[in-house]
């Protein structure tokens, strides 16, 4: 049997490595084959080379998880951020539109400015505050103008895992090294484990549902400070940290960084829960799972 090919970008990122972890045991692996790419194998900024590789591979689906994700560096490196997060997405969508290919693309809560004080719906007005958010929003709009159906955009937020760089791993490192820590308490959002997002993506790839923007998180509405407290609590309970340190709440002004962040970016995931065969995840259970995997040396 000829297997369907899925062209995966960002394979060595934290989401990509989580996909690889689950792939062999997934239902989808029986009918589909993954072609895994990251920047060392295929630089998405090189449009001609990407086109050649797509023509060679002829995927039925593209799963675009690659991105320029360094939110603060993007402020001084606008051109690179837009080349990966917008132009490269436009190229993938262009190829998909000419080749009857389904495109699944990952986007971010940072397309919103945080002025709303209730969870953001997929159709809410986007108005990014920083270069990263603007580049990701440009990618969304380019994709939508190329593909009228056959695409899904999943916006997610505060992504973390046992892989790569993320807030959970940074906090665990600092909590081991320091006696006290300050964490921003006036930005509210929802952490999302790559495990829960990959579970949703595997479902979407199986169902190849029609076009649209969907939101996915682990259902919290908390500050970075509250997230840090929860990380410490779980890590002490699971024996990853020997003791608790003092964690102090900080205002955004007390922790200056190059990129502005929305004060509120909780995403409403109800449309996703109604559209796909997935269950609502619980952020504390997801956090426990990831910290346990870090403790087990995954």
Q: How many residues belong to the chain?
A: 298
Stretch 61-90 residues interacting with ligand NDP (CB under 6 A): 65-69, 84
CB-nearer residue toward ligand NDP: 32 or 190: 190
Catalytic site residue from 132, 160, 214, 264: 132
User: Could you confirm whether 37 is annotated as catalytic?
Assistant: no
Token readout for 209 is 């549902």
Q: Which helix (H) or strand (E) holds 55?
A: helix 47-57
Cα atoms in the 13 Å half-sphere on the side-chain side of 133 = 18
CB-nearer residue toward ligand NDP: 33 or 43: 43
Token readout for 291 is 């910290």
> Which residue number is nearest to ligand NDP in terms of Cβ?
13
Token readout for 24 is 């062999």
Tell whether residue 190 is a contact of ligand NDP (CB under 6 A): no
CB-nearer residue toward ligand NDP: 245 or 293: 293
Please state, in angstroms and rounded to a whole number, the distance separating the CA atoms of residues 93 and 90.
5
> Minimal distance in Å, beta carbon 1 to ligand NDP?
30
Stretch 108-127 residues interacting with ligand NDP (CB under 6 A): 108
With contacts defined by CB under 6 A, how many residues of the chain interact with ligand NDP?
A: 25
CB-nearer residue toward ligand NDP: 90 or 236: 90
Stretch 130-169 residues interacting with ligand NDP (CB under 6 A): 136, 156-159, 164
User: Rounded to the nearest 5°, which phi and psi values hold at 188?
Assistant: -110, 130
CA distances from 173 to 113, 161, 170, 286 (A): 30, 14, 5, 19
Q: Which residues bind ligand NDP (CB under 6 A)?
A: 9-10, 12-15, 38-39, 43-45, 65-69, 84, 106, 108, 136, 156-159, 164
Kindly list the catalytic residues. Answer: 132
């Amino acid at each position: 049997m000829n297997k369907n090919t899925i062209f995966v970008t960002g394979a060595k990122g934290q989401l990509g490595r989580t996909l690889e972890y689950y792939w062999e045991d997934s239902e989808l692996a029986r009918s589909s084959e993954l072609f895994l790419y990251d920047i060392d194998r295929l630089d998405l900024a090189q449009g001609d080379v990407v086109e050649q590789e797509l023509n060679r591979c002829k995927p039925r689906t593209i799963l675009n998880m690659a991105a320029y994700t360094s939110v603060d560096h993007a402020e001084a490196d606008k051109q690179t951020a837009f080349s990966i997060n917008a132009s490269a997405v436009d190229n993938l969508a262009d190829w998909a539109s000419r080749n009857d290919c389904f495109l699944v693309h990952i986007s971010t809560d940072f397309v919103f400015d945080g002025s709303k004080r209730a969870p953001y719906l997929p159709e809410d007005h986007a108005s990014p505050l920083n270069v990263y958010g603007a580049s990701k929003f440009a990618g969304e709009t380019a994709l939508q103008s190329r593909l009228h159906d056959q695409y899904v955009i999943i916006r997610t937020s505060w992504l973390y895992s046992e892989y790569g760089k993320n807030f959970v791993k940074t906090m665990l490192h600092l909590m081991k090294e320091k006696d006290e820590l300050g964490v921003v308490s006036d930005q509210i959002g929802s952490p999302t484990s790559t495990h829960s997002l990959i579970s949703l993506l595997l479902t979407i790839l199986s169902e190849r549902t029609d076009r649209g923007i969907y939101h996915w998180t682990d259902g919290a509405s908390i500050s970075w400070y509250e997230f840090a407290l929860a990380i410490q609590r779980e890590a002490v309970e699971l024996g990853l940290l020997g003791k608790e340190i003092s964690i102090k709440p900080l205002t955004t002004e007390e922790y200056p960084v190059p990129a502005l962040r929305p004060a509120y970016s909780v995403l409403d995931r109800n449309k996703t829960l109604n559209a796909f065969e997935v269950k609502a995840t619980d952020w504390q259970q997801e956090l426990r799972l990831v910290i346990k995997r870090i403790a087990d040396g995954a």
